[in-house]
Structure 1
Amino acid sequence: MRFVVAIVLFVGALVSIGIGLAQRTVWAPPDQITLTAESDSLAPVTVIDSDVLRSFDSRQTIDVIGDGPVAAAYGRTSDVMAWIGDARYNRIGIDEENQRLTSELEPGDDLQVPPLAGSDLWLNDYEAEDALKFIVNVPDDVSVIIASDGVAPAPAEVSITWPLDASTPFSTPLIIGGSALLVLGLLALLWALLHLRRSRGPRRKQPRLPRPPRQGRFRPRTRAVAPETRGRRAVRSFVAVPAALAVGLGALLVAPATAMADSVSAPRADSEQRPVAVSEPQLRRIVARVGETIAQADEARDADLAATRLDGPALEFRKASYAIRGGDANLGALPKIPSGKVELTLPQQTDSWPRTVFTIVQDDEDTTVAPTALVLIQQDARSAYKVHYAIALEPETQIPDVAPPSVGAARLPADSKLQVVAPADLAAAYGDVLAQGEASASYGLFDIESDTLLPQIGVAKKNERKAAIPTTATLEFANAPGSGETVALATNDAGALVAVNVTESETVKPSEAGAAVNTENSVKVLSGKTQTIKGITATYGMQLLFFVPPVSEGGKVQLLGYSNALVSATELP
């Protein structure tokens, strides 16, 4: 019977190991699926919707084959479609029944689009020559866009590969269980051989003894013991051990696999939450591009290059700086636009244009320099984000609490009544304080004690300069809101971060006949006049960042940062 047990264990081991190995080899499922679409249309763009990309629950490897430049990017589906606009494009679909990709031509008036790569709209983009391969794992609302150079037709062949779950959760338990049965079978075989040897005893020949007298038959009463029972119990024990082992190992192996699948599932966007203008990684790429472009423009004093990344007061400052440096390299330099560590990201909550983003960037090369607050605006889907304001923050400035980057902030209307001062009135109110000081009706609105700009250009300083002018000339000051946009973004307490532009002019003119006004430094370079009998007006621009508290809590408006520079100088008519 012991040999029977060993044979049963060996057979069970063979079957278990065989099935386990077969699941990993001949019965193994495919580990990926690849579907391909081809198109011969003249459309300059191809779009793969998120529904197609997520046809299988795994990451997507996209292969694009074309003839010449190949570019691809991915972004929010609404942004992709806004960028395409009126252009004709190919839409990639999927025929699930026949397991193939389809390509459908969508009508449009335009057969050309701008270059795809490098747009600030994308979460990421790629470029290559003739063939391009990249891996993504997009959520529900993200699509892929593919193009050539924007003029030639989009690449003709697109393939998508999804890895499939080729795991065999029962293979390992079966192999381990079979191995255990094999070991038990060997032990059972040794046990059977040892028992057989002991039961046969020694084989020495004994001498014959005289036959004893025959006695009456006596049959002692004995209890019936079935040796097979113990054998059957042994069989059951040997079988139960590997079976329990296999079940336990299977549970241990299946549980981690399930946990892993849950941990890598793609996040789903909250359908009720408004989208934000940019993501954090997207903004870091934009800031790096802006910093690199402006550094090149500053070195070459190239205003046209600067205009590709600057607008409004920020561009006005740069143009004046380049003109001054062109006349005297020692004058007119401006702080660089940093492209280092992005310390704060506050995008506007919006899915339309224009879009606004507020960020604070620290200079990596010189951490002693105060961080710079940037206000970037994107006018439309195909435009680049441009810096509208670049404002040096005050020392030890405390930015009020704002929403996280994934939530963003609402851009408030200029006439918002939720703050102690409407954003549209802020530039004029602060300009009046600069001109009149305590006599200004707006003086009590501002936190004067923390303001470091007022001592430099306020009414007291203006009076000092007037007193220093010779009696043969007069000095007059005037200020007004500048041409820059008023940008207000909500804070968590219903207050607002507000960026405004103020200009202040200084007019010096002779007060007596025959007298003349001498110019110097940057005013001399911009005006082109060394001396004039008519007079000179020098205009300075100010980029200002304020925190305006909510009406519900009250408080004073706080100046968080400022940048000022000479922007023009002209002779009086």
Structure 2
Amino acid sequence: MRFVLAIVSFVVAALLIGLGIAQKTILAAPDEVTAATSITTDAPVTVISGEALNANPRSQFVQLSDSDGNFAAYGRTTDVLAWVGEASYNDVTYDAETAGLTSTLVEGTETEVPTPVDSDLWLASYSNTSSFTVNVPEDISLLVVTDGVQPAPAEISVTWPVDNTTPWANTFVVAGGVLLLVGLLLLFWAIAHIRKGRGPRRKSQKMPKLPKQPRYKPIKSKPRELEANAKGRRSARVAIIPALLITGLALSGCSADFWAGRQTVVEPSATADPLADAEEAEQFSPPAVTEEQAKRIVADLSEVTTAADAALDIELAGTRLAGPALEARTFNYTARTADATVPAIPAIPSGPIEVTLPQQSDGWPRAVFAVISDSGTDANGQALAPVAVTLIQDDPRSNYKAQYVMRLQPGVVTPDVAPASVGATRFRSDSPLLTIAPGEIAADYADVLLSADASASYPLFDNATDTVQEAYGVPFKLRERGALEATSTLDWTTTPATGPVVALSTNDSGAIVSVNVNEITTAKVVEAGATVKPKGATKAVVGKADSGKGFAVTYGFQLLFFVPSVEQGGTITLLGYAQNPIAASELP
């Protein structure tokens, strides 16, 4: 019987070990699955939909033909299709029946597209490569081009890794090893038993019978009830043995998860309504950019403007600046070209971003507000305040350009805003939800600069913390007129603002508003034979040391305000500003 049990153990052990090894080798499933397609059209763009990329779980390994000059990038599907615009493109989807990719030509009116390289829309991009790995959700699509003129790559394949792990293989091998050891023990036991049975057998000598001991009658047994109880205890003790065996088997069955490297799965508690969460999320548009995109955009803004400032290259500066910010640098570059002693406009720092506030938008134009830390110091050795920039992307194929570049007032605290992953709504210029409509702020503030407390708009602003009024408002104008000779006059007027009004919401339903004001300073000669002498950048741009007529200089004010909501109430606070000459000419 021992030999039989040993043989059975060996056979079962061999089967278990063989099955475990087979699961790792000949029975193992493939570790990846691939879907491919060949494109025969001349469309310059191919778009692989997010659904196709997520046809199978886990990351996606994409391979393209003709690696030289290939460019691929992924972004939100709406952004990718917006960038494609009216151009013809290949729409690559996944066919579940054939488990392959299919390509459909979507015809458009354009046969060429501009280069998508360095576009601010992309979350990530790949240049001059034939293969790369991505891991994107379904609302993200992949764009593939060559140079925007030639047809897109013809061969495309997507490969997904497959989970072909065999969690029971190790369990089978270990169990087989245990049974093999048990079989060996049974075999040794059987051999030892046989050897013991082969020894000499001697008859034992009969011993004389011992005298019989007197027999005592036992006391009557206990009542039947006690016997029954005794039997019950014995039966209970006997019943314990199979119970222990069953428990042990159950525990050994549960331990298979341990051998397989599994972990206990805890059911999540139903604390949220997914449908309600989805409905709430659909009420808001996604943020214009992610935090990583904003970092990349601001870093490029700093790099480009620094290079343009050094080379006085206004064309280069125009790739990242527009509106009032570009007007200021255009005038400064012209002045510095004529006179190298004219100081440059402070550079846009490349420090870390303290605040990132993108507009919630899936259309165009889009706005992004950011506050950049500046590690520099001023002439007195004091740390410089951060720089606030307001950027706008006019259309899908344009990059973000800084319309406003302003230094925050010393000690100012920006209002609390939503995280970059949420973004902010953009108020209309005529929004009635704020204490003053954003489109009216520039004109009202311009009137305050000209008239101070005589202006009807004066009570709307927090004048106690406003450094611009002291530096360029009525007190400044009175000082300038007092120092002027009687042979000339000095007057100030304002012109309509040319920059866009950007008002992004804060957490308390207020708004951070970027606007600009243009103020013209006119120095006019009123006495024959007298002259007026321009200074600094004005002199360099006009090209005259003096004039018998006079000069007109336009100064651009880039202004950043916090405007409270109607419900909250309160005055408008100046957060930051920049003041630079943007035009100068001799009077006719």
Q: Which of 472, 489, 502 is 1:474 aligned to?
A: 489
What are the within-5 Å matches in structure 2 for residues 139-538 of structure 1? Answer: 139-197=137-195, 199-200=196-197, 203=199, 244-245=251-252, 247-250=254-257, 253=260, 255-256=262-263, 270-363=281-374, 368-538=383-553
Is contact 1:345-1:358 (8 Å) kept?
Answer: yes
Is contact 1:318-1:334 (8 Å) kept?
Answer: yes
SS at match of 1:359: strand
SS at match of 2:580: strand
**What is the distance in 1 between the residues matched to 2:125 and 2:371?**
25
SS at match of 1:532: coil
Is contact 1:139-1:268 (8 Å) kept?
Answer: no
Is contact 2:257-2:263 (8 Å) kept?
Answer: no
SS at match of 1:539: strand
TM-superposed CA distance for 1:252, in Å, is 6.4
Is contact 1:361-1:371 (8 Å) kept?
Answer: yes
SS at match of 2:158: strand
TM-superposed CA distance for 1:365, in Å, is 6.8
CA RMSD in angstroms, aligned pairs only:
2.9
Taking a change above 3 Å as real, the CA distance of residues 209 and 343 of structure 1, as seen in their structure-2 partners, is closer
SS at match of 1:517: coil
Is contact 2:47-2:143 (8 Å) kept?
Answer: yes
TM-superposed CA distance for 1:257, in Å, is 9.0
**What is the distance in 1 between the residues matched to 2:248 and 2:206?**
55
Which deviates the most, 483-492 or 143-152?
A: 483-492
Alignment correspondent of 1:57: 57
Alignment correspondent of 2:117: 117
Taking a change above 3 Å as real, the CA distance of residues 23 and 283 of structure 1, as seen in their structure-2 partners, is same
TM-superposed CA distance for 1:326, in Å, is 0.8
**What is the distance in 2 between the residues matched to 1:430 and 1:19?**
83
Amino acid at match of 1:245: S
Amino acid at match of 1:280: E
Amino acid at match of 2:176: G
SS at match of 1:36: strand
**What is the distance in 2 between the residues matched to 1:124 and 1:401?**
29
Amino acid at match of 1:117: V
Calculate the TM-score normalised by the size of structure 2: 0.86
Alignment correspondent of 1:41: 41
TM-superposed CA distance for 1:530, in Å, is 0.7
Is contact 1:546-1:561 (8 Å) kept?
Answer: yes
Calculate the TM-score normalised by the size of structure 1: 0.88
**What is the distance in 2 between the residues matched to 1:74 and 1:309?**
22
**What is the distance in 1 between the residues matched to 2:67 and 2:124?**
22
SS at match of 1:121: coil
Structure 1 unaligned segments of length 5 or more: list them.
Answer: 214-232, 260-266
SS at match of 1:444: helix
**What is the distance in 2 between the residues matched to 1:258 and 1:63?**
36
Taking a change above 3 Å as real, the CA distance of residues 144 and 205 of structure 1, as seen in their structure-2 partners, is closer
Is contact 2:376-2:384 (8 Å) kept?
Answer: no
TM-superposed CA distance for 1:236, in Å, is 12
**What is the distance in 2 between the residues matched to 1:460 and 1:210?**
139
Which deviates the most, 134-143 or 248-257?
A: 248-257
Amino acid at match of 1:324: A
TM-superposed CA distance for 1:368, in Å, is 3.2
1:106-125 deviation line (CA, Å, top 9, x unaligned): 11121100112211111111
SS at match of 1:518: coil
Which deviates the most, 159-168 or 438-447?
A: 438-447
Alignment correspondent of 2:2: 2
Alignment correspondent of 1:90: 90
Is contact 1:341-1:364 (8 Å) kept?
Answer: no
**What is the distance in 1 between the residues matched to 2:206 and 2:506?**
119
Taking a change above 3 Å as real, the CA distance of residues 183 and 242 of structure 1, as seen in their structure-2 partners, is farther
Taking a change above 3 Å as real, the CA distance of residues 23 and 5 of structure 1, as seen in their structure-2 partners, is same
